[in-house]
Chains A and B, each alone.
Chain A
Amino acid sequence: MKYEISSKEKRAEVVLWISRVATFLSVFLLFFPQASPTRITSLIGKNVSLFTSAVSYGTLTSEMGRALNRGWLSYFSITILYIGAVLILLGIIAAVVCACTSLGNLRLKKFGMPFGVGGALAAILGLVLVYISYTQVLLTDRPEKVEPSFPGGFFVYAFLILVILITSIITLIMLPKADKNEKFYMEPKFKLFLMFLPFAMLCFVFSYLPLYGWRYAFFDYSAGGTLSADNFVGFKWFTNLFQSEATKADVVRVLRNTLAMSGLGIATSWLPMAFAIFLNEIKVGWFKRIVQTFTTIPNFISWVLVYAIALAIFSTDGFINTAFGGDTNYLMGNHLIWLKMLAWGTWKGIGWSAIIYIAGISGIDQQLYEAATVDGAGRFQKMWHVTVPGLLPTYFVMLLMSVANVLSNGMDQYLVFKNAQNVSTIEVLDLYVYTLGIQNGNIPLSTVIGMVKSVVSVVLLFGANGISKAIRGESIV
């Protein structure tokens, strides 16, 4: 059923590859604000890509409300700009359809090519509209506020779209007429790939694209500002981390909290294993089931709810104070806060973390226990010499994972338990980055800290993986 490729088709294939690459680039650049052909005035946010302009009119106009109200910019020009962006996006989508069908047989190619031509024409119309909008913007009576500028991305897109248009027309002419009786067909490998492609795109957009945000670490950037050669500061924020006394003090404090709490977590990481082993010693079935059921529940509630519970039990008018008298608010203050956080973490997680060990125990060969009994081993000896060694490999993996995650203890728990009195000892790295970047708007510095954290985490993970490979011959990632 493999279809034969004629020599004409083979020659067309070269042109098609040019078209596919151009289409790929035009999709790829959709997400990069610098390549956006729509940034015709400085009133359009510096974080607005062509994709944003086309899908979100609100974001496109978010910074120009004043200009629109005062008539510096006409609604007409912005609407035209928006329609242009939408047209370019739709055109690119049509070009993608064309590029996808071009992987199929002659009939499918012939079917898809008009999409390429049509898409390119729509996108050209879109570019024309963007240009009209630009000429409108140029007419503004307050150029110093509106700052019209012709975006470099315009040329990039004009070029790519022309390439798509020309290659589509050429292939349309080059390809022989398709046999009407021929069925649409595509090789399975491409079919599968095309089915996978949308998900690869999603993965790229949400997991890889944020890495591009690391560039903020090299600029003096504040929300709504610009990234340009003018405020490029190189490694200023990195050195700031070590030179500015205030920042240094903060980072040291936050790191100490992070390492202390992660360290406590690692030091008590054997608790779930002990929990499982001792639970296994309980022979009354219904009791065991009840214990397991109720100790697992806390894992499934959010940290906000844990905090709600903490308030109900430990606040001034909570259970402890009303039942036993007193009016201490155990949640304020930073007395023993690390241990308290550890206790909450254990309360929430131990039953759940124990499940893997409980399953592990049931997987231990019963003959080992019998042999130990014959050899005269008592209950504790069996627990220590049979059960514990049986669970150690699992424990080892868990331990290495928690070492690799030493810098990432998440922010939920610490955010909800944070208050004015304990903030200095509860703030961990993740929470600090959030406070610094989102609440205080210091984007470059928080990006730098996040970067360093990510890199260290990856190094730790691969280090842990290497250790695991060296010792057990198995990788953990």
Chain B
Amino acid sequence: MAKTKQEKLDAKAEKQYYRSHKKSHKLSFGDVTFNVIDYVFFGVFTLLCFFPFYFLFINTISNNDLVQRGQITFYPKGINFDNYIAMLNVSDLGNAFLISIARTIIGTIVMVLATAFVGYLVTKKEMWGRKFWYRFLVITMYFNAGTIPWFLNMSMLGLTNNFLAYIIPGIVAPYNIILVKTYIESIPGELEESALIDGAGFFTVWRKIIFPLSKPILATIAIFGAVGHWNSFTDSLILMQNAPELFTLQHRLYIYLNTSSNLAQVMSTGGSAASNAAASMMNQKVLKYTISMVTVIPILVVYPFMNRYFEKGIMLGAVKG
């Protein structure tokens, strides 16, 4: 007991010593100027990154007339959430939202499972032609045929105006496969070997041992995959030309942003009577802001949870070698 007390005292003394030492160390004028500039710069830049989202948000929850007159700049007035409720009645938006959610969830799950499995397979030295097949996958990262051949190929495969076009091409993701392979190679091999000797098949070993052990890296690629799916826009633009019901939310937002003048016209393209009524309650500006918020909110909501995986992901990418 006494000893721990003594230790505490020591620690306290040490702290005090450092504090006084720090104080006695005078900051030069240059240091102070530098610090001020540094803090101000980062403060301002952070505001620049934060304010646009805040601005959109306060405009969507304020009184619509004030928004239209441009009187909402720094804080909301007349707070209400009617705009978001009205959004629920705009049918093509709800549909686009569902499409985006569906492709994000299905696409990510399929991609992660496939990547986890392929990443495991390419670590197996016994595989027939492993080196060749691994290169066969990896080399595709460095070339692509171009937009037009890609589009013609997709249409040849029957993947235009087809929901599967969002899912299937993303199943094999070479970069993610490299990440998973590198990770699995860092797992000690004994567990797997003993399981194989016990007569377990490769698939069982993967499912029972490798997959649970590689969860951290899978979480990382899942997050990147999900963000990619959610933000994906050109595939909807190019491949779904004749299937408006399959447009993603990003594509819808793009259409809304570009329809400049006539609100009624926006709504009449695929909108029902109910959605027209809902839209007429909002003015065009508010409509755009609200759709933008609806599109960005999912990202902002999951962002804090995915934050901790970022660094891991980007560092693994850097050392891929």
Contact = CB atoms under 8 A, between A and B. Distances in A.
Contacts of B140: 203, 207-208
Interface in B160-211: 160-162, 168-169, 171-172, 174, 201-203
A313 B147 contact: no
A450 B144 CA distance: 9
A207 B45 CA distance: 40
Nearest to B71: A322
B259 interface: no
A56 B243 CA distance: 15
Nearest to A419: B258
B85 interface: no
A301 B174 CA distance: 23
> Interface residues of B: mostly helix, strand, loop or mixed?
helix
B56 A312 contact: yes
A28 to B, nearest CB: 14
Contacts of A415: 234
Given A33-B156, A300-B227, A312 B55 contact: yes
A193 B45 contact: no
A458 B253 contact: no
A198 B174 CA distance: 14
Nearest to B199: A1
Interface stretch (B3-11, B12-20, B86-94, B294-302): B294-302
Contact of B152 (A47, A358, A449): A47
A301 B43 CA distance: 21
Interface string A177-198: 0000000000011111101100
A33 B31 CA distance: 70
Nearest to A59: B158
Given A355-B310, A433-B146, A446-B148, A302 B285 contact: no
Contacts of B129: 193
B150 A213 contact: yes
A408 to B, nearest CB: 9
A450 B148 contact: yes
A48 interface: yes
A78 B3 CA distance: 92
A175 B151 CA distance: 47
Contact of B128 (A189, A209, A291): A189
A182 B22 CA distance: 80
Contacts of A305: 231, 250, 253, 292, 295-296
Nearest to A289: B307
A189 B127 contact: yes
A203 B148 contact: no
Sort chain B's interface into a size bin: 35 or more
A347 B48 CA distance: 8
B201 to A, nearest CB: 8
B289 to A, nearest CB: 6
A322 B299 contact: no
B121 A438 contact: no
B73 A451 contact: no
Interface string B236-249: 00100000000000
A447 B257 contact: no
A454 B202 CA distance: 38
Nearest to A309: B52
Interface string B116-142: 011001101011111001001100101
A451 B74 CA distance: 50
A317 B288 CA distance: 12
A446 B254 CA distance: 24
A131 interface: no
Contacts of B2: none
A306 to B, nearest CB: 9
B157 interface: yes
B128 A203 contact: no
A295 interface: yes
B121 A196 contact: yes
A307 B253 CA distance: 10
A27 B227 CA distance: 34
Interface in B30-55: 31, 34-35, 38-39, 41-43, 45-46, 48-50, 52-53, 55
Nearest to A189: B128
B315 interface: yes
Contacts of B143: 454, 457-458
A46 B55 CA distance: 51
Contact of A458 (B142, B151, B251, B310): B142
B314 interface: yes
B84 interface: no
B133 A461 contact: no
Given A203-B136, A438-B147, A458-B142, A193 B128 contact: yes
B289 A312 contact: yes
B203 A216 contact: no
A430 interface: yes
B145 interface: yes
B38 A278 contact: yes
Contact of A291 (B45, B52, B254): B45
23 contacts: A52-B158, A59-B158, A188-B126, A189-B127, A202-B172, A203-B136, A203-B137, A210-B149, A210-B152, A213-B149, A216-B149, A297-B300, A301-B296, A303-B233, A312-B288, A312-B292, A347-B49, A359-B314, A437-B148, A438-B151, A446-B147, A447-B149, A461-B142
Interface of B: 31, 34-35, 38-39, 41-43, 45-46, 48-50, 52-53, 55-56, 59, 70-71, 73-74, 114, 117-118, 121-122, 124, 126-130, 133, 136-137, 140, 142-153, 155-158, 160-162, 168-169, 171-172, 174, 201-203, 227, 230-234, 238, 250-251, 253-254, 257, 285, 288-289, 291-292, 295-296, 299-300, 303, 307, 310-311, 314-315, 318, 321
Ranked nearest first, the 3 interchain pairs of A and B with the lowest CB-CB distance are A450-B146, A213-B149, A56-B158
Interface of A: 31, 33, 47-49, 51-52, 55-56, 58-59, 188-193, 195-196, 199-200, 202-203, 205-214, 216, 278-279, 281-282, 287, 290-291, 293-298, 300-305, 307-309, 311-313, 317, 319, 321-323, 347, 351, 355-356, 358-359, 379-380, 394, 397, 411-412, 415-416, 430, 433-434, 437-438, 443, 446-447, 449-451, 453-454, 457-458, 461, 474, 477
